[in-house]
Amino acid sequence: MKHILVVDDAATVRMYHRKMLGDAGWSVDEAVNGLEALERVLALPPGQCYDLYVVDINMPKMDGYTLVRELRRLSQTAQKPVLMVSTEAQMHDAVAAEEAGANVYLIKPARPKELVLTAALMMGDAETARRVAAGHTQGVSA
């Protein structure tokens, strides 16, 4: 089973992402900011890490850009996909996310189908990607 870490300071956003990603069949953990996320990553047993990081930009203690740069410095997470999801909708925000090391940038609120399909493709979950693309989803609507 794929494991995802959702990092966002807004409880409603974390619940929304947990619901959409969980309904797709993945295990979802949460962190309220970049610092807590980094602590969770470092506390994992050796050889274990999340399959995807879904990260907000604007958070207290450690923002998303800093978190992504830290994830890219760690050997166990350097190659893991990062999906940034933010209300920041300017082109320079997407460029800054890419420069920090994010793989994909979505603007909040991400549509359920877009969120789940993007996550599936980023984690290499072809079965889920095909199901979502074909419209055969449980709990995921366009």
User: Is a pLDDT exceeding 70 seen at residue 79?
Assistant: yes
**Confidence band, pLDDT 50/70/90 cuts, at residue 142:** very low
Q: List the beta bridge partners of residue 83.
A: 54, 104
3-state class (DSSP) for residue 90:
coil
Q: Can you list the domains of the chain with their CATH numbers?
A: 3-133 (3.40.50.2300)
Share of the chain above pLDDT 90, in %: 85
pLDDT tens figures, 4-18? 999 999 999 999 999
Which pTM value belongs to this model? Answer: 0.92
Q: What pLDDT, on the 0 to 100 scale, is given for residue 141?
A: 46
The CA–CA distances, whole Å, from 33 to 23, 97, 123, 132 equal 23, 16, 22, 29
3-state class (DSSP) for residue 83:
strand
